[in-house]
């Protein structure tokens, strides 16, 4: 018998903090991508991995937006 873990929605403070944290991470990651390209070249593994990380962050942000939209739609 499997039991699903309890889930708790983010508070408004947590949502604000998460949004700010993600914006800061995105800003720092953009700088890292530029640095890796400049230091190692556009086709280097370091630059490619930095770009992949930026892509993963964007996908996370999109997923969080979809979850929030679904929650708002379900909640009225």
Give the pLDDT of residue 17: 97
**Tens-digit pLDDT profile for residues 5-53:** 888 888 999 999 999 999 999 999 999 999 999 999 999 999 999 999 9
Give the residue extent of every domain in the chain. 16-75
The angle subtended at Cα 65 by Cα 61 and Cα 70, nearest 5°, is 150
Give the pLDDT of residue 24: 98
pLDDT band with cut points at 50, 70 and 90 for residue 1: low
Residues 6+ apart with CB under 8 A from 6: none
Q: How far apart are CA 8 and CA 73, in angstroms?
A: 17
Residues 6+ apart with CB under 8 A from 76: none
**Tens-digit pLDDT profile for residues 54-73:** 999 999 999 999 998 887 78
């Amino acid at each position: 018998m499997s039991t699903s873990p309890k889930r708790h929605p983010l508070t408004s403070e947590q949502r604000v903090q998460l949004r700010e944290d993600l914006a800061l991470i995105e800003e720092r990651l953009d700088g890292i991508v530029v640095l890796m390209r400049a230091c190692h070249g556009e086709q280097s593994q370091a630059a490619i991995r930095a770009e992949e990380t930026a892509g993963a962050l964007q996908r996370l942000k999109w997923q969080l937006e979809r979850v929030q939209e679904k929650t708002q739609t379900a909640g009225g």
